[in-house]
Amino acid sequence: MSETPKPRQRKPGAGRKAGTGQFGGEPTVIVRLPEADRDSLLELARLRSERRRGLFPPLPADQVYRPMPDAPRVAIPLAGVSVRAGLPSPAADFESEQLDLNDYLLRDAPSTIMYRVKGLSMIGCGIDEGDLLVIDRKLEAGHNDIVLAEIPGEGATVKRLYHKGGRVALLPENPDFEPMEFCGEQELLLVGVVTGCIKKFR
């Protein structure tokens, strides 16, 4: 007759201290997810936890917009030939194809936000104050991507990411602004990758 195993006794002081760990002591659950997505989803969960705990300020409400869910399709005539600026073209040239701006601008609507630019630090790559940027939060930022980033104590900024040879920096596209260098324990939150820029001229 086998003996029933005795329950293991938890040693006093054993285990992780309350309020520690990558989620700051928040309640956690066990989930199943694709192995290929493990690291990126854990990083997203950690950053969202930090924002809830006030370690990163929320993005400014007057600069952030979200695509409308189930937005109606609006087909716009697209020119079938290249047209030189300043030269009129027959109307027939614009009727060969239809373009929906939602399909053109949004790779994944739920992970996309629109961000209105303030400042002149990126004018060298055509991003001006007042432009609306299309930000994909699901894309993994890489070296030389233009990104929306958050810096503790400073807020949100749009810059070109330099991540090469051990150097991490946010680079402006305007010689009047200085690069932002990151090293050691400095925190940098990459909100998403800029995939488009919308301008209005009138």
Q: Using the predicted structure, report yes or no on whether residue 170 has a pLDDT greater than 80.
A: yes
What are the structure tokens assigned to 150, written together? 């958050």
H or E element that contains 197: strand 189-198
- With b for 16 or more beta-carbon neighbours within 10 A and e for fewer, the 117-150 pattern comes to beeebbbeeebeeebbbbbbeebebeeebbbbbb
Measured over the CA atoms of residue 188, residue 192, residue 193 and residue 196, the dihedral's sign is negative
CB 134 within 8 A of CB 117: no
The predicted-structure confidence for 78-137, as pLDDT tens digits, reads as follows: 765 555 665 555 555 555 678 888 888 888 888 888 999 999 999 999 999 999 999 998
The predicted-structure confidence for 14-72, as pLDDT tens digits, reads as follows: 444 544 555 566 777 788 878 887 776 776 676 666 666 555 556 677 777 777 767 77
Catalytic residues: 121, 159
Give the model's pLDDT for residue 90: 55
